[in-house]
Structure 1
């Protein structure tokens, strides 16, 4: 079975590096599946999960908070501001961030940055969903 090398990199360093048979991710224009031999392209990513199907039939999940995906026939590179594998997500911290973001969005104060609060809400929900397997 053919494979493609996948590297997920953040400003803090590598977050994932492995051979997989398929990559499924959410771009700003919709969901995209990548198989070995895919045509070269670059696309902006939305906040979402990256699903990585491995040769042994297992699947890895990584929560990303946007970024870019670069696809070549034999390699997929994802550059993201942050990325966490499902197993390494601190759910308690994500739930606290969700509560804070919801509180900011419900606040009637004028000095609240609603775009930033919405982004924080999306990131927290994504992290919780990836950890719990609700993808």
Structure 2
């Protein structure tokens, strides 16, 4: 099967850079599969799990809290706000994030629509983190 270069970059470091068969990324519009030869595009990411497939098997599962992905026929570059291997996620940390995000969302109720949207995105990412931690 054809491969493409997948790079996953967080503010701290380069987490992944190698040839893969497929990556499923959590685009804002829904799960998006990327294969070699994909049409060029830039998408916004929501909180969720990136699944990397090599030799017909899912080899890596990484939680991202949001960010962007640039897709070309030869490469997919993910610029994540935060990225963590699913095996390193903690249910307690995710639950604490949910509590903080719920408080931020409640505090933003009288704020601008942009701030409410950002608070909701943070809450949804925290819930996705809990889902990923429980599934690990």
State the TM-score, normalizing by the size of structure 1: 0.79
The 2-side partners of 1:65 and 1:126 are apart by: 8
Contact kept in structure 2, 1:47 and 1:123, CA below 8 Å: yes
Contact kept in structure 2, 1:9 and 1:80, CA below 8 Å: yes
Question: SS at the partner of 1:123?
Answer: helix
**Which sections of structure 1, spanning at least 5 residues, go unmatched?**
none
Describe the superposition over 1:23-53 as per-residue Cα deviations: whole angstroms up to 9, x where unpaired: 1122223332111121222222222221211
Describe the superposition over 1:87-131 as per-residue Cα deviations: whole angstroms up to 9, x where unpaired: 122322111111233345457x979x7545433322221112223
Question: SS at the partner of 2:65?
Answer: strand
4+ residue runs of structure 1 moved beyond 6 angstroms? none
CA, structure 1 residues 110+29, in 2 after alignment: closer, same or farther (shift >3 Å)? closer
Match of 2:44 in 1: 44
Please report the RMSD computed on the Cα atoms of aligned residues, expressed in angstroms.
2.7
Match of 1:120 in 2: 122
Match of 2:17 in 1: 17
**Which sections of structure 2, spanning at least 5 residues, go unmatched?**
none
The 2-side partners of 1:130 and 1:4 are apart by: 26
Contact kept in structure 2, 1:62 and 1:130, CA below 8 Å: no
Match of 2:6 in 1: 6
